[in-house]
Amino acid sequence: MTSLLDIQNLKLNFKTVQGQVEVLHGIDININAGEKVALVGESGSGKSVTARIILGLLQELRQARISGEVYFDGRDINTMKPKDCAKLRGTAMSMIFQDPTSSLNPVITIGQQFTEVLRRRNNKLAQAICDEQATRMLNDVAIPDAQRVLNAYPFQLSGGMNQRVMIAMALANRPKLLLADEPGTALDVSVQAQTLTLMRELVNDYQTAVLLISHNLGVVREFADRVYVIYQGRIVEDGPTSALFANPKHAYTQALMNAVPRIVGTGLAKVPEVSDAFLAPRITHSDVT
């Protein structure tokens, strides 16, 4: 398999009035073409900022200090000009955000927003072709009444419908990499399951690589081929999903597993206390369990 995303020794500091604040401490992540990879960790561990560095967004902030290498399709995002990074967003790479309703513009119809996305790749695309492609993509995400949805505003649609629209838009230009930041957080459990199943089928059809950012281990176990576990800006464990879930070796990964709520037993699992063992050296599982 060909390496599509290769992150090496990525570090992130923010310049504040109190001084430098270290956020990422030299993380390494690799994603092959067509592979589904998850980045797992608690809130504040560095998941979302990593995604924004991949998109080339944090590099535009004056207070951000970024070092290391972020190779996407053979090009280092950290050394690219902002305008060149901007050309990749919505074309070669796309992102699905946590809350689909707030991610869409409330005063522009779905059809108009779809046209903007499609013209990211070809700004001379005729309106009739945009409408045709948008209709086809909405059908692919199981929205049969596409014309009604294209004429609607986001607030006129349910959260689950908006999430399907977001997935359709994210995949419309056949990106090589899809970043999914907690894509089902704002949805109820049944709609979340449908959304993830749909996303899995579509990325398989389009051979799109996925970086799924999540703290939901159940979703990760079902969706991802490989998993990276991040704690306080450090990758502490990684490997094939089956191997990591069958035998989590790092103390932090074990704590995450133990914190998953269970229906049986005496109640909810106890939230793990922070331990020095959480900062133990990184553990990498082999392909053999």
Q: What is the CATH number of the domain that holds 87?
A: 3.40.50.300
C-alpha pair distances (Å), 108 with each of 111, 115, 116, 150, 160: 8, 11, 11, 10, 19
What is the Cα–Cα distance from 63 to 59, expressed in whole angstroms? 9
Helix, strand or coil for residue 107? coil
Q: Is residue 166 part of a domain?
A: no
Q: Please report whether residue 90 resides in a domain.
A: yes
- Domain extent, residue 256, equals 3-102+176-284
Report the mean per-residue pLDDT for the chain: 87
Phi and psi torsions of 199, nearest 5°: -65, -40
User: pLDDT by residue (tens digit) across 177-231?
Assistant: 999 988 766 566 666 677 777 778 878 888 899 999 988 888 899 899 999 999 9
Please tell me the predicted confidence (pLDDT) of residue 182: 81
- Residues 6+ away with beta carbon under 8 Å from 270: 258, 259
Kindly state whether residue 65 falls inside one of the protein's structural domains: yes
Partners of 158 in beta bridges: none
Does 91 have pLDDT greater than 90?
A: yes
Mean local confidence (pLDDT), 123-150: 92
Asked whether residue 270 carries a pLDDT value surpassing 60, the answer given is no
Q: Residue 25 pairs with which residues in a beta bridge? A: 11
Q: Longest C-alpha distance within the chain, in Å?
A: 62
- Evaluate whether residue 210 is within a structural domain: yes
Say how far apart CA 145 and CA 138 lie, in whole Å. 9
The residues, any chain, with a CB within 8 Å of residue 226's CB and separated by 6 or more, are 35, 36, 37, 38, 238, 239, 240, 241
Residue 167 in any domain: the answer is: no
* CA distance readout (Å), 119 to 11, 88, 96, 107, 133: 34, 13, 18, 19, 11
In a domain, 171, yes or no: no
Residue 289 confidence class, pLDDT cut points 50, 70, 90: very low
User: Does residue 155 form part of some domain?
Assistant: no
Q: How many separate domains does the chain show? A: 1
Please report the pLDDT score of residue 188 as a whole number. 67
pLDDT score at 212: 94
Residue 142 in any domain: the answer is: no
Report the distance separating Cα 75 and Cα 70, nearest Å: 8
